[in-house]
Structure 1
Amino acid sequence: MKDKALLFINGDPPKSFPDLTHYGLIACTDGAFHYLKELGFPLDKLDFISGDFDSHSGSDENVYQEKFIHTLDQDKTDFHKALEIILERGFHTVDVLGASGGEQDHFLGNLTVAYTFKDQLSIKFYDEFSEYYFVSKNFTLKNAKNRMISLYPFPSVENITTTGLNWPLTNGSLSVTSRIGTRNFAVEDEISIQYESGDLLFFVGRNEIEYPKIY
């Protein structure tokens, strides 16, 4: 059984689509529905479209009515409400496209929503430049060499140690008010991260980058 969900939300449209056969559920928010139509996405593959639908035409309503889930709660974002539906349908791993770009307060809001669900869902974001997600206190990534790595505390991380990075940390601390760990890169094929407390948002570049050697 395919136990992973794919969700499109209303940021910058993706440049390409993943292999849809890897997913047991495919969904979008009503804002993302517009760009999926324009990009020629196979809309019949969508399991549901959620939102308040205040920007949809009657023709959309008629054709895709059975896929529409009206979520009118204005105290939650469309992303939050879509994740609730995904949880209700029994999925606990979600790939998210369209989270970044556009208005940056939306992007920050999307990260906060992911933090809210981090103990219930494994959420991984993808955009043109990187993939990013919250990582556990003992994390390892392979095939990382020459990729950009950024560590972003949410809002702080204590006693963090890393291996395989150009600028390693040993029992260090990170905080949004003092020191963060962005724009590092992997010098080994496998990197590891261990930390004692806090929450860490991890970014890895999608493409290898030729970094200059530091002597």
Structure 2
Amino acid sequence: MNDKALLFINGVPPSTIPNFEGYGLIACSDGAFHYLKKLGFPLKKLAFISGDFDSHSGTDESLAQDKFIYTPDQDKTDFHKSLEIILYRGYKTVDVYGGSGGEMDHFLGNLHTALAFKDALDITFYDEFSRYFFAPKNLVLTEMKGRLVSLFPVSVASNIKTEGLNWELNGEDLSVDKRIGTRNFALKDKVSVQFSGGELVVFVGHQPMG
């Protein structure tokens, strides 16, 4: 079984349809269904559309009705409920589009949701500028030279050691109220990040910086 899923949620949509080959499951929240339809995404590729359907009718003439999963729980976001379904279906890796932009409280809420699933799912967000994710304690990235790298603690990350960045960290802590590690960049193709405590979101630019 291919355990990698692709999920579209209701933030700023991608400007073009991303490559969706190689995923075992493709799904979207109810709000994202609108932009996928406008982008010309092949809707029959969707395994499910989930949400409370406050922004969608919960039906479409081109799809079987059982693909629409009504999840009315108002204590959870549509993103959270979609991840629950993906996890229940046995998938362990999720690439997410539409997680940032627009109303920024949604972006922060999406990070909060990803943190809640961090130990169960390997979640990576993609937007027009970068990919970002909660880092494991020992992270190695390749093909990195010239790319933007930002390290953002949630809310503290301790004893951080990096190799391959312009401004290295050598056992320092990062915290929201004192010091963060944004707008760094890679000097080498291989970058490593290690830390011993807390949580760290890593942002990686799609293209080398000019």
In which range does the TM-score fall when normalised by the shorter chain?
Answer: over 0.9
Deviation at 1:18, TM superposition (A): 2.7
1:185 and 2:188 are equivalent in the alignment:
no
- Match runs of 1:109-120 below 5 Å: 109-120=109-120
Larger displacement relative to structure 2 (96-105 or 16-25): 16-25
Q: CA-to-partner distance for each residue in 1:48-84, whole Å, 9 max, x for gaps?
A: 0001113334762784412100000000000000000
Structure 2 residue 30 is matched with structure 1 residue 30: yes
TM-score (norm 1): 0.94
Q: 1:21 to 1:173 in 2, by over 3 A?
A: same
Q: For residue 87 of structure 2, what is the amino acid of its counterpart?
A: L
Q: Structure 1 residues 58 and 162 mapped into 2: Cα distance closer, same or farther (>3 Å)?
A: closer
Q: Which residue of 2 aligns with 1:195?
A: 195
2:84 match: 84
1:155 equivalent in alignment to 2:129: no
* Percent of aligned pairs sharing the same letter: 63
Q: Deviations over 1:13-55 (max 9, x none)?
A: 1122232221000000000001111111100000000011133
Superposed structure 1 runs of 4+ greater than 6 Å apart: none
Q: Which deviates the most, 178-187 or 50-59?
A: 50-59
1:68 aligns with 2:68: yes
SS at match of 2:113: helix
Matches within 5 A, 1:16-55: 16-55=16-55
Instruction: Report the counterpart of residue 213 of structure 1 in structure 2.
Output: none
Aligned residues: 210
Within the alignment, does 1:7 sit opposite 2:7 as a pair? yes
Q: Which has the higher helix share?
A: 1
Name the SS of the counterpart of 2:79 in structure 1. Answer: helix
- Name the SS of the counterpart of 2:159 in structure 1: strand
The AA in structure 1 aligned to 2:84 is E
- Does 2:101 correspond to 1:101? yes
C-alpha distance in structure 2 between counterparts of 1:150 and 1:168, whole Å = 12
The CA deviation string for residues 172-212 of structure 1, in whole angstroms up to 9 with x for no partner, is 010001100000000011111111111110000001112xx
SS at match of 1:158: strand
Residue 129 of structure 1 corresponds to which residue in structure 2? 129
Measure, in 1, the Cα distance between the counterparts of 2:59 and 2:10.
21
**Cα gap change, 1:35 to 1:143, in 2 (>3 Å):** same
Unmatched runs of 5 consecutive residues or more in structure 2: none
Q: Following the alignment from structure 1 to structure 2, what is the Cα–Cα distance between the partners of residues 185 and 56?
A: 41
